[in-house]
Structure formats: C-alpha cells, structure tokens
Amino acid sequence: MHTDPPLDPDWDEFRALGKRIVDEMADHLAGIRDQPVWQPVPDTVRAGFTTPLPTGGRPMDEVYEEFRATILPFPRGNIHPRFWGWANGSGVPVAALGDLLASLINCTLGSGGNAAMMVEEQVVEWLKEAMGWPATGSGVLTSGASMGQLTALAAARQACGAADVRGEGAVLGGVQYTVYGSVETHHSVEKAVELLGIGRRFLRLVPVDDAHRIEIGALRRTIRADRAAGLRPLCVVGNAGTVNTGAVDPLDQLGALARREGMWFHVDGAFGAFARLVPSHRPLLAGLAEADSLVLDLHKWLYMPFDVSCLLTRETGVLEAAFRSGADYIAPTEQGPSAYPVAFSDRGVEQSRRFRALKVWFALKTHGADAFAEALAENLAQTAHLARLIEADDRLELVSRGDLNVVCFRYVRPGADARELDRINRTVLGRLQTRGLAMPSHTRIRGAFVLRVAHHNHRSEPADFDFLVDQVRRLGDLAVRDGGS
Ligand SMILES: *Cc1c(COP(=O)(O)O)cnc(C)c1O
C-alpha cells in the first residue's frame, strides 16, 4: 500500500476543475471584446492581496472562484482587441495550452539530454530560418529582450574585448569600453551597460534624423573621437523598431561600419524584427542578417503569451565563451542525460529555465508561420488605416508614423499652447483608459505629450481604430470645454 503524496491533488477533482477552467477561459476569450479593456482594481479587491500567509488549505475550486472574482476582471488589458499600449502581444490561446503542458511535465532546460531541450533547439532553428540567419549561428530563448541585450553585450565583450574580463574583472589594464546606439535606444541597453560595469557614461547615444533613425555621420565622428581619447569602442546597437516610434535604423550601414571598426554589431529587434515575415517589409530589415547578435521578443509581435524572447548569435560558441562554467556537478559524462552536447545554461546567466519553447512549438505547428505573417501584415495595414484617419481629421495631428506598427498622435486645437495641448491629451488618454474604451499608451516626441499606438494585436479590426479616433476627438472636445479654454 502506498499513500498519496501530500501535495498531489485528488485526481478526479483536478480533472474536473481543469476541464472547467479551459471551458470558462474559452468563453472568456471568445467574449473579450464585450469586456472593458481595463478597469482600476477596487480597494476592497486590493485588500484581498494583503492577507497573511495562508497556513491551512482550501478546496481548489474555491481558490479558482477567488481568481474569477478578484483577478480575472482586472487584467492588464492586452488580450482585448483595443489594447495597443507599450509593446505587448495579445497572446495566442493555443500557446497557452503549451504553457500548461510545460508546467505539468515540469522540465528545466539548463542542460541534459531530453526532448524538451531538443524542442528549444528546434525553435531556435526555426527563428534563425525566419530571420534569414546563417546556418552557423546559435541562440537561446530568454525571458525578454532585456535579458537578451545583457547576454549579447557580455558575449560581445568576451569576443571583441582586449582583456580577460571573466577572470580579471571589468577594469583590467585600464580598458574602457564604449557602446553606441541612437538616442532612441531602449533603456534595457542602458541597464546592460550598467550591469556589465561599462558605465552609463560610456553608452554613447547618437542623435537621430527626422525619421528617428540614427545619424551615421554623427556615429562615425563619435567613434573616432572616442578612439582618439584612448577608449575602446566595443559595440554598435542598431534598432529594428524603436520603442517610441517604430523607426528602423539603416542596419546595413551600421553593420558595415561595425565591421570596418572591428566592433560587434547588435540589433535590438525586440518587436520590429518580426516584420521580416511580411514580404513588403523584408527589404527594410535586410541588414538584420548582418548582425553579430539579434534579440526578438516572441511575446510582442509573435503574439506568444509572456514570457519568451530569443537571442540569436551569428557565430556558434560565442555565448559559451562568455558563460560556460566548469563546475563539477554539471560537467559532461559519457552516457546518460549529462552526455548531451548542448547546455543552455552555458549560453546565458540562467541555470534553471522554463520550458518556454513548448508554447512556441505548439503554436507554430498548429497555425503555421504563414498565419503569423498574415496577422503581422494585417497589423501593418491597420496601422496605415489609423494614420490615414488621423491625417484626415483636422483636430488630430499625426506626430510620428515610423516604419512599422507604431503611430504617435495627439488632439490639437488652434491657439492652444504646448502646455494646454499636453493637458488636453493627458486628459484624453486618462479617460480612454479608465473608462476601458481603448488602451493606447503615451510618450513624448520632441517634448510633446502624445498618444502612442503600437499594434501587436491579432484581435483588432479596422473598426476598432475608427472607434479610437472618434473617441479621441470626442474626449478632446470635452477636455477643451472642461478646461474652460
Ligand atoms: C520591449 C523592448 C525591449 C525590452 O524587452 P523585454 O522583453 O521587455 O525585456 C527592448 N527593446 C525594445 C525596442 C522593446 O520594445
């Protein structure tokens, strides 16, 4: 006789609740359009998240009821068809089944031979293919592009660096590295530079042109001046889709410059790289394949549930050179799981790693890459539709259009000064969001507060953008009246 392990459920209850959850979530997602995009969490609900540690247990269906009452109605909003804030994907439901399976079989993907490891290798190969990446390249899935940038810059320093940074530390021999990108570079690059001990002061943020793309001449001059000052230029970061406006830097020119200078060329393609799947946008991103490393967030414009991102490197072995460890307890053996030649823990910081690849594998096998390319093309067409609506409306100003799926705009009014326009647009955004109507986010473009739409949403329809424009116009008119101006 054996007794049931104390933390395993009653399997019949587990089965029943599991079926109910899938059933009810299918209804929830199918009807998501009728829900508010977002709503504030009431204080009474919030209080429920400040209770002491539960020492005793409860039936699992009661806990699920609590989820339904206190968590489900107060989401971030990105599964809704009118969410276009920041850079969030909408989430492919089939992938969520992959995620559930990943947790149920509970593999960790640091090292060791098993099918899960092979699935991650497979997914990395698929992404190389999708990006036109050389077959000799390598890669690893990460939590996000932030982790990818850090990992890539560590590899760059190991490959191009002048000193044994792993052994001796960052300041050996007085070598001071510099890293280059445009002023539009994402703050995660800044974090990486800080964490690697290069120092934020040595991240050179170069001006951009009117289309928010890096000025190559200014970049060249900055590198020359830094060399003359005895600094060691290490890496150029190119943007394939800047976070503010979706601008794509001239990647082929950046690649050529980096090669000439003996520098590493890293591309931040967090969301924009996926536009390569759309034939009309492939030429714009042709320079991608020249990069030494590339990050791309599958949880953004490949619509995967959070989190999953990928770092690709042009050469095999560069990540291992920066991260491989000689610890006895993970050393290879002749037979058994530890005989397996690939270790993802040698390609980055993390040892224990989720089976992120399974949801990607599940979704790509189910829908096929062409279906994703179609969704991307539709997002691009709808973004163009939105830009046209804005341009056709005399109360709206198209502040930036970018190269991809990002549009920044604002409500305008003749005679209103900059401060007044900022006030009106803050009010408009606040009302759009808190009333659950639509969820653009915001940024500043040349100092002006603007509404920012970044379209990574496979559920949106053209009419959702008609609605957005109507609401911005209506709420703008109201904000003008309320302000008494
Ligand atoms: C989102 C984003 C990042 C950071 O990626 P995470 O997945 O959030 O860590 C970096 N660069 C750009 C351009 C982004 O949009």
- Residue 420 domain-assigned? no
pLDDT at 428 over 50: yes
> Could you tell me the pLDDT band of residue 484, with boundaries at 50, 70 and 90?
very low
Write the CATH number for 348: 3.40.640.10
- Residue 391 domain-assigned? no
Distance of CA 404 to the CA centre of its chain: 15
| Residue recorded with tokens 């549009």 | 407
User: Residue 274 C-alpha to ligand 1 middle, in angstroms?
Assistant: 13
User: Residue 159 C-alpha to ligand 1 middle, in angstroms?
Assistant: 24
Give the pLDDT score at 376: 98
Instruction: List the residue whose alpha carbon is closest to atom 2 of ligand 1.
Output: 270
- Residue 163 domain-assigned? yes
Q: Taking residues 444-460, what's their average pLDDT?
A: 97
Is the preceding omega at residue 482 within 30 degrees of 0, hence cis? no
- Residue 150 domain-assigned? yes
d(CA 432, CA 108): 42
- The H-or-E segment that residue 182 falls in is strand 177-182
- Residue 152 domain-assigned? yes
Give the type of residue at 462: P
pLDDT at 344 over 50: yes
Q: How many CB atoms lie within 10 A of CB 269?
A: 30
Query: In terms of residue numbers, what domain contains 166?
Result: 107-354
* Sheet of strand 293-297, all strands in order from the earlier edge strand to the far edge: 138-142, 309-313, 293-297, 264-268, 232-239, 177-182, 203-206
Q: Ligand 1 in contact with 372 (CB < 6 A)? A: no
| Residue % of the chain over a pLDDT of 70 | 99
Handedness of CA 361, 365, 370, 375 (dihedral sign): negative
Predicted confidence (pLDDT) per residue in 146-178, tens digit: 999 999 999 999 998 777 888 888 766 678 999
Give the pLDDT score at 330: 85
Q: Ligand 1 in contact with 151 (CB < 6 A)? A: no
C-alpha distances (whole Å) from 313 to each of 110, 125, 184, 319, 394 are: 18, 12, 23, 8, 47
CB 213 within 8 Å of CB 181: no
User: Residue 299 C-alpha to ligand 1 middle, in angstroms?
Assistant: 10
* Sheet of strand 406-411, all strands in order from the earlier edge strand to the far edge: 396-400, 406-411, 448-454, 441-445
C-alpha distances (whole Å) from 427 to each of 326, 412, 479, 481 are: 57, 13, 7, 12
Q: Taking residues 410-417, what's their average pLDDT?
A: 95
Q: Taking residues 184-199, what's their average pLDDT?
A: 96
CB 482 within 8 Å of CB 427: yes
pTM of the model: 0.96
- Residue 207 domain-assigned? yes
Q: What are the tokens at 188?
A: 């995660």
pLDDT at 86 over 90: yes
Give the type of residue at 38: W
Give the pLDDT score at 172: 62
pLDDT at 485 over 50: no
What number of CA atoms fall less than 13 Å from residue 355's CA on the CB side?
Answer: 24
Count: domains in the chain: 1
- Residue 218 domain-assigned? yes
Q: In the chain, what's the furthest Cα-to-Cα distance?
A: 85
- Residue 419 domain-assigned? no
Q: What are the tokens at 34?
A: 């009728």
